[in-house]
Structure 1
């Protein structure tokens, strides 16, 4: 079975971001650091950077991320949003409140013409989100 999952790139904040997302969305978080593969480490000061992190939520959502060591080019991702939909309006409000703390709201969570609730924000880690709560 094929899957399509968001894979977020960070310079050095992947662990903090993924632990934050686990606190918001719940689930199991697995983290592998570059230091677990000695051939992958070019700078010992960066051995604890995240080579791969995967958050799997009880709802079956999968979010992945990694850090980008100094020896690799890094451009902050742009032109995308992580879209979370299919939740109740109450759960959407809970996730919205958590993700928006320390972030910036692009479009306030409100009732769109198609019903339910919808809003857009950029979280404290610079990741853009679109949240939609189903009509009740």
Structure 2
């Protein structure tokens, strides 16, 4: 039996980098009108991380790498 294709339910797009301003901007646009699953905030591993589904049903992960000391 073939399953029905639901666009966006078979991938997750990940954005990662150290440009906090740019990545926060992407997060604001991606999460607007969508659903935030994990708020973009500092995580136990030290980076900022968030996960959302945009208004079109596409899952996204954003990871903002923190400078190493």
Normalized against structure 2, the TM-score is what? 0.79
How far apart in 2 are the matches of 1:122 and 1:87?
22
Deviation >6 Å, runs of 4+ = none
Instruction: Specify which structure has the higher proportion of helix.
Output: 1
Normalized against structure 1, the TM-score is what? 0.43
Number of equivalent positions: 64
Q: Deviations over 1:81-114 (max 9, x none)?
A: 1011114222111110011111110100010112
Q: Which has the bigger relative contact order, CA under 8 A and spacing at least 6?
A: 2
How far apart in 2 are the matches of 1:95 and 1:87?
13
Supply the RMSD in Å over aligned alpha carbons.
1.9
